[in-house]
Structure 1
């Protein structure tokens, strides 16, 4: 069975304008186009649109979706399995937030006590999950499962006071790094202060510190573009390189 572009739009909730755009960028091309220029879609395109919407719901960029769906190694089973895992993770986070809201309501009604740590638990867990998804594999390969698990445990068990301190130190680090990046005549003492701030920031979650591990992490800031992007977006292009070079010199 073939569906017109209007029928496809009504069935999926996607506008005809969006369907035409997906055709233009070769993300979702119709099964056939008649002599009058009308687009028609088969069940195959319906399934592909469903996959696109899955990924859009998970905040993937269109270019990323196109790359995934164009990969011959991606079977429909593996695609759906990745959807499933991501949705389960999303649901778990929403459940954590719901529990936090329920506890907060009960706390303000005087029905239960709520520690400061509990007030921030869901948010810290979300950030930890984001870090694991972005950098977990690389960090675990470099430092080992035990070291990373210990750091995660420290993060989740951190008190409200320590959490705020850590955020403040990171803010100071980014500001100093930004200023350093903008200086024409960069001074050695400024670089040393940046390294000390970075070391202080790490020690909130590292159970033990070593200059070797510090320098190893700094190398990753350049080796992995995701780390580079994090610092370059916050402190200007070249900031990650400056941070890495400073750590290698003075850690």
Structure 2
């Protein structure tokens, strides 16, 4: 499809498509000799993804950073978009209810407390926005992939063995307190291991631990070493971060 056809289909301007191309956000798969941009089905799928992010007020620079990240997963992004839109709908429904009550209050039909007058107003960030930024904008992931890609097969084999050994050690400790000395020594090995591959801050490490529980794919893989390991690691990672932030 040419730019004009895409613009008419989607409801955006041709100039917007040109701008996306110019900044490298959405580059059409083909440009004719006459200079017409031609968009493929894959381009349209990416445009849909971009517009979902735009609907949720992400800046173009951040969208480009996320969708170009090696860790970006389209299906995962759509699930996250859905969560964010549900949160947005919840806030809008609450705001509409507050408006309806305020109309009744202005008419003298009901009383409203000060708290009720401001129900629905929330100027904090959508909690899922931060998750998206951390998941697809995290340079630690990119650095890890790059370092692994530069390893020899023997190095990768050694790394896999070290990973496996740490998980087995943690699995054997999962019925202990996450704050125990043994658990904290083992979780420090995991923190050091991750930082040998990438650059994980303490907060990123804690967020990763929470993801082990929130994302069922992580939970399923980790719990292969022992049921409840993902939750144990999350708690141990949180304790480690809180202790080392002091």
Q: TM-score, normalised by structure 1?
A: 0.49
Q: More helix per residue: 1 or 2? A: 1
Between 1 and 2, higher relative CO (CA 8 Å, sep ≥ 6) is seen in 2
TM-score of the aligned structures, taking structure 2 as reference length: 0.50
